[in-house]
Structure 1
Amino acid sequence: MALNKEEITKKINAALEDLRPFLEADGGDMELVNITDEGVAQVKLLGACSECSMSPMTLKAGLEEAVKKVAPEIIRVEAVDMATA
C-alpha cells in the first residue's frame, strides 16, 4: 500500500507545531525533511536541538510518539543531518 505522503506530511507538520513552543523555549526547532516509502519520517534538528545531548530522547519520547499518534502509518522518526545527507 502506497503512503499518502501529502496527507501524512500535513499531519506530521501539525504535530511539530504542537511541540514547537517547547523546542523553541530551549532555543531549538526541527522540521520534516522527508517521508520514505518505508514509512520513516526524517526530521532535521535545528538550533540548540542539533547539538543537545537530550535530542535523542526528545525525538523518541516526544516527537515520535506525537507523530505516531496522528500518523500511525509512520514506523519511526529519525534525525538526518542535511550537511551529510
Structure 2
Amino acid sequence: MINNINILELIRPSLQMDGGDVQFIDFDEKSGLLKVELMGHCAHCPMSAVTLKQGIEAEIKKSVPQVNEVKAVQM
C-alpha cells in the first residue's frame, strides 16, 4: 500500500539546511511502523529524538493516517 512516504520530501529541506537528512527504509502495514534512517548531522545530533518525534513523526502522521509510529534505524 505505502511503497514510499512522499511527505518525507517535504520534510527533507528543513533537515538539509542543518546538514542532516532522512531516508525512507521500510513501512509495516500491520503495525503502522515507519522506519527511517537519519543521516548527516541528524544521525549524531543530541536533539535527533526530538526532531524525529516532534518534527518528522508529527508531520507524517498528519498526512499519512496509516502511520502509527516513526522509528529511526541505522543502516
The runs of 5 or more residues in structure 2 that have no matched partner are none
Deviation at 1:5, TM superposition (A): 2.3
- What SS does structure 1 have at the residue aligned with 2:74? coil
* % identical equivalent positions: 42
Larger radius of gyration: 1
Distance 1:45 1:20 in 2: 10
- What SS does structure 2 have at the residue aligned with 1:64? helix
- Compare the two structures and name the one with the higher strand fraction: 2
Cα-to-partner distance string for 1:2-25 (whole Å, 9 max, x where unaligned):
xx223xx2xx22x21111111011
- Compare the two structures and name the one with the higher helix fraction: 1
Of 10, 18, 21, the residue aligned with 2:13 is 21
Of 14, 19, 22, the residue aligned with 1:30 is 22
Tell me what 1:69 maps to.
Answer: 62
What's the C-alpha RMSD, in Å, of the aligned pairs? 1.0
For the pair 1:47 / 2:44, whether they are aligned, the reply is: no
The runs of 5 or more residues in structure 1 that have no matched partner are none
Counterpart amino acid of 2:42?
A: C
TM-score, structure 1 as length reference: 0.81
TM-score, structure 2 as length reference: 0.90
Task: Give the aligned length.
Answer: 74
State the 4+ residue runs in structure 1 displaced beyond 6 angstroms.
none
Tell me what 2:2 maps to.
Answer: 5
